[in-house]
Amino acid sequence: MVARQLIERLVPDIEDVAYDFIEQEVGRYDWRRNWTGMRKDHDMVEHARTWLSRYGINVDAQELVHWIDEFAGQVKGNWVG
């Protein structure tokens, strides 16, 4: 049990990380429109890589951006939370 808890701390769930990233970097309200605009104007993989590094989160930036892209395509509405 202790090993599993340690692994969960070292390898965070991509969904949890994505929600934190969206809330902090994209905006919780009207996030889908914000995300679309940011994807057009910025290298979001690099932006995510910088954010992940700042907080010491061990997640692949490309995977994070891909997850958010898929989430944006599946979710109705513009609010997270």
Q: Tell me the pLDDT tens digit for each residue of 7-27.
A: 555 667 899 999 999 999 998
For 31-76, what is each residue's pLDDT tens digit?
888 999 999 999 999 999 999 999 999 999 999 999 999 998 887 7
Q: How long is the chain?
A: 81
pTM value surpassing 0.75: yes
Q: Which two tokens stand for residue 42?
A: 């910025």
Helix 44-55 vs helix 31-41: angle between axes, to the nearest 10 degrees?
A: 110
